[in-house]
Amino acid sequence: MDHLTFLNRLPKTETHLHLEAALPYALLQSLDAEAFAEPPASWRKDYRYESFDEFSQQVLLFAGTWFTSVERYRQAARAVFAGLLEQNVRYLEVSVTSGIFEYYKLDPRTVLAAVREEVPGELEVRLFMGIHHTGYNEAMGPVLDDSVTWPELDGYDLQGKEDVPVGDWAPRLWRRAREHGKFTKAHAGELCGPDFIRWVLDEMGVQRLEHGVRAIEDPALVKRLCEENIVLDVCPISNLKLGVVPSLSEHPVIALSEAGVRCTLSTDDPIAFGNTLTGEYVAMAEDGGVSLEALVEFARNGFQAALVEEDIRARWLAELEQAVNSL
């Protein structure tokens, strides 16, 4: 059995995905076949973004064109979920961006409810509110404060450009979220180094890191991540195309895993990178030189970190072992 076939069949999780940036390109083509006739240049394997701002502008163009209504969110969610099931994904953590709600004056609870209604029975989904560093403002502050009580929401994720200052609203909101049973994450350790990782751990009390790969620059921080069992939701192709790493064979997820840090693999923003979850695994095998055993461990880590009941976790892990034994 070749790598692609095995890794596609392998039960997997996707724990670092932005719904707006997971928009299937075919939906944009259905809006304007001429404007979106060809996939973006950034889908090429050799493409590298010149800056994070260039990347952000491309995502904003695509997302802003599509996500203008609740029904558009529903359509996108349906397509994204179907695509993940085709890759044998059992569990998904996906964020929706508060800034889109603000810009198009959409009711977040209505959007969340619509997305939830599209979840197929074969997929467990946890919905996160993704908030940029400047996303808590006069318009959205009261909404976000109230959102900690919403049953439609499972957690919060600080996202966006890491070097933009974060106000004291974030530690306060993240603390209140946990008091209401929500799970908290943050993007850190991609554009900025170990100091920002420490800040989100110490000041925001995050329970998971999105990216976190630059922790490798500080052995003491690596040790702390191991001791505190902080999982890193890593997106190798994203890191490569944004210039965080020079190559997949030099990706820090390899050394971090060898040091005992638990890492998962995800896609981040597929519309900006032209990637799939199975493609991430295949790329790490073929271009990163990572063994199938190590890739299986990434999948296993995802199930172990999943926000589910233990009987569900045990069933998934048993399915994973069955897949491995059939190799």
CA distances from 222 to 199, 204, 216, 293 (A): 15, 18, 6, 22
The single-letter code of the amino acid at 284 is: M
Decide if 230 contacts 197 (C-beta within 8 A): no
Residue 71 catalytic? no
Decide if 305 contacts 231 (C-beta within 8 A): yes
The single-letter code of the amino acid at 306 is: A
Please give the Cα distance from 300 to 10 (Å, whole number). Answer: 10
Decide if 237 contacts 279 (C-beta within 8 A): yes
Token pair listed for 273: 């990178």
Beta bridge partners of 158: 131, 186
Which residue matches tokens 């993240």?
174
CA distances from 146 to 140, 222, 326 (A): 10, 35, 48
Chain mean position to CA 141? 24
Catalytic residue among 93, 190, 210, 280: 190
Please give the Cα distance from 103 to 111 (Å, whole number). Answer: 14
Identify the H or E element spanning 57: helix 52-66
- 8-state DSSP, 22: G
Residues assigned a catalytic role: 190
